[in-house]
Structure 1
Amino acid sequence: MTEPILLTGQHGPVRTLTFNRPRQRNALSAALIDTLRSELAAADADEQTDAVILTGTDPAFCAGLDLQELGTSGGNLGRLADDGIPVGHPWRPLAKPVIGAINGAAITGGLEMALACDFLIASERARFADTHARVGVLPGWGLTARLPAAVGGAFARRMSLSGDFVDAETALRVGLVTEVVAHDRLLDAALGLATTIAGNDRAGVRTLLGSYRRAEEHVVAPSLQAEQETSQQWMKDFTPARVAERRADVIGRGRTQNAP
C-alpha cells in the first residue's frame, strides 16, 4: 500500500498536517502542494478544529520544490499561482492559526511554507535556508516580504544572496522562530500551545487573528505585488533545463552545509 504524501491527525481541537515524502526530504511535488491546499481548506471548514500544526516527517520539514520534477516537467512550479489564492500566499489563508513545527531543514519553498504559518516552533535540528539564487528560480510565495519582516532586511538579504543555512539557535536570536525545543519534544510543545489557543474564546481568537492579518496586509501587500511582478518577468526566460543543470550541485552543497 502506498504511503500518503500528507499525513493528517486530529488531537481534540487541533489538526496536524505532516509532509510525508521523507526519502525526498518532503520536497514539494505538484501533488503534495495540491493535497496540502485541500487539507488546509478542509481544516478551515471544520468547526471542530481551532488550530492547525504543519510539520514534516523526519529528517526534514520541507526541502522546497522537488528539483527532479522542477527540472523535467516543471509541474510543481506551475502550482506557485492559483486563481483561488491571493498573490504571495502558498495557500488560501485560514480563519484559524497555523503553527509551523519545524523538525528539520526548511529550504527555499519549504522556508516560504514556514513563513506563511502564523508563527514557528523549532526543533534543535531545524535549519533554514533560501536557495532560490542557487537554483536559479525566484520566490513566488511571499519570501521577499515575510522574511525581512521576521528577521530584518539585512539578515534576509544575507540569507537569500548567500543561500547559506541558519541553525535553530540563530533563527531564534533573529526572530524567525519563537522557541527552540528538544527534537523529541517538538510535537508535544506545538500541541500544548495549539491546545492553549483552542481553549480561548473561539470568536475572539479568530477576530484577533484576522485583525493581525489585515494589519500585516496593509504593510506587505505592495511587497507581495512587487515580488509577483519580478517573478513573472523572470519566468519569461526560465527553462526547467536550467534547474536540471544545477540540481546535483545544489543538493550536494545543501547536504554539506546542513550536516549537524
Structure 2
Amino acid sequence: MSNSVLLEKHDNGVAVVTLNRPDAMNALSGELRERLYDVMQEVRGDDSIRAVVLTGAGQRAFTAGLDLKELGSDTSGMNAATDQNPRSNPVTAIRSCGKPVVGAINGVAITGGFEVALACDILIASENARFADTHALVGIMPGWGLSQKLQRIIGQSRAKELSFTGRFLNAETACQWGLVNRVVAADKLMDEALALADDITVVEPPFLAKYRHLIEHGANLSMDDALNYETLFSSIENDKVTPDDIERRRLAVMERGRARKG
C-alpha cells in the first residue's frame, strides 16, 4: 500500500490525514491523488470518525500543488487541473468524505495546493504557512474552484491581486483577510487543529451534516433567499426534535464537561 497519504485514527473520533511526500513538498502526483481518494472513502465509511484534520508532512509545505515534473513529462496529465473525477481531483476527494475537515496548514499551499486548502471547512495556519496562486504564471486555468471560492472569502480585489501576480500571502495577512481562522506557532499547530476537531466531534454527525448543508447552500443564495431557506429548512428539521432528544444531548454535554475537568 502506498504511503503517500497517511491515515491516523484517534480514539476520540478524530482522524488525521497527512499528505506525505515531504521531499517533493507534498506535490499532488497522480498516485497521491488516487491514494487521497481511497483514504477519504475509508474515512467516509468509518462511523467512528466524526472529524478530520488534513495536513502535510514536514514544515515546508502543506502541498505545492500538482507535480509539475510529472506534468512536464506527461502532457496527458494536464487534464488533472480540471478533472472532476474524485480519484484525480483532490478537492472532490476531500469533500466526498462527508465529514468536517480542519486544514492544518503547516507550510506553503501553492496553486492546486491552495485549492486543496480551500476545500477544507476550517483553516488553522502555522506561522510558516504561506499561500500563492501561480496559475497565471504557469499558464494553467484553475479548475478545482479557486477562482470562485477565493474571491468569496477575501473579496474580488484581493483575489485578483493574488491571482494576477502570483505573490505569496503570509499567514498573518491571511488571517487578517479572513482566509484562515487563526495563526499559531509551528509546534502548536497540530495541538490546535486536533483540539478544534475534538470539539466538533461532540455534535451528532447527522445534525452536523444538515447544519453544514444549511450554511453552504445559503452561501449560494441572495441574503433574502438564504433567510427564507433557513426558515423553511429549520422549521422542517426542528419539528422532528423531541424533548427527549434535547435532554439526551444536554446530559451528554454535561458529561463531557465533567470528563474534561477530571
Q: Same fold (TM over 0.5)?
A: yes
2: distance between equivalents of 1:61 and 1:196? 23
Q: 1:14 to 1:149 in 2, by over 3 A?
A: same
Deviation at 1:75, TM superposition (A): 5.1
Q: Conserved in 2, the CA contact under 8 Å of 1:29 and 1:76?
A: no
Q: Conserved in 1, the CA contact under 8 Å of 2:71 and 2:78?
A: yes
Q: Helix, strand or coil: the match of 2:140?
A: coil
1: distance between equivalents of 2:25 and 2:86? 28
Q: 1:68 to 1:27 in 2, by over 3 A?
A: same
Matched, 1:108 2:111: yes
Indicate the residue corresponding to 2:258 in structure 1: none
- Structure with max Cα Rg: 2
Indicate the residue corresponding to 1:63 in structure 2: 64
Moved over 6 A (4+): none
2: distance between equivalents of 1:146 and 1:161? 16
- Can you list the C-alpha shifts for 1:100-139, whole angstroms capped at 9, x where unaligned? 1000000000000000111100001000000001111110
The AA in structure 2 aligned to 1:51 is A
Q: Helix, strand or coil: the match of 2:179?
A: coil
Q: Helix, strand or coil: the match of 1:100?
A: strand
Indicate the residue corresponding to 1:207 in structure 2: 210
Deviation at 1:183, TM superposition (A): 0.3
Indicate the residue corresponding to 1:168 in structure 2: 171
The AA in structure 2 aligned to 1:82 is Q
Aligned with residue 196 of structure 1, among 165, 177, 199: 199
In the TM superposition, 1:9-158 aligns within 5 A as: 9-12=8-11, 13-58=13-58, 59-74=60-75, 76-79=77-80, 80-83=82-85, 89-91=91-93, 92-158=95-161
Q: Conserved in 1, the CA contact under 8 Å of 2:91 and 2:119?
A: yes
TM-score, normalised with respect to structure 1: 0.78
Deviation at 1:11, TM superposition (A): 1.5
Deviation at 1:19, TM superposition (A): 0.7
Moved more, 204-213 or 104-113: 204-213
Unaligned runs of 5+ in 1: 220-260
- Can you list the C-alpha shifts for 1:58-88, whole angstroms capped at 9, x where unaligned? 1210001111011111454333413468x99
The AA in structure 2 aligned to 1:201 is E
Q: 1:84 to 1:29 in 2, by over 3 A?
A: closer
Q: Conserved in 1, the CA contact under 8 Å of 2:37 and 2:86?
A: no
Deviation at 1:191, TM superposition (A): 0.5
Aligned residues: 217
Q: Helix, strand or coil: the match of 2:216?
A: helix
Q: Helix, strand or coil: the match of 2:33?
A: helix
Moved more, 31-40 or 108-117: 31-40
Unaligned runs of 5+ in 2: 223-262
TM-score, normalised with respect to structure 2: 0.77
Q: Conserved in 2, the CA contact under 8 Å of 1:15 and 1:53?
A: yes
Give the CA RMSD over aligned residues. 2.1
- Can you list the C-alpha shifts for 1:124-169, whole angstroms capped at 9, x where unaligned? 1000000001111110100011101111110000000000001000
| Aligned residues with identical type, % of pairs | 43
Q: 1:189 to 1:76 in 2, by over 3 A?
A: farther
1: distance between equivalents of 2:213 and 2:84? 22
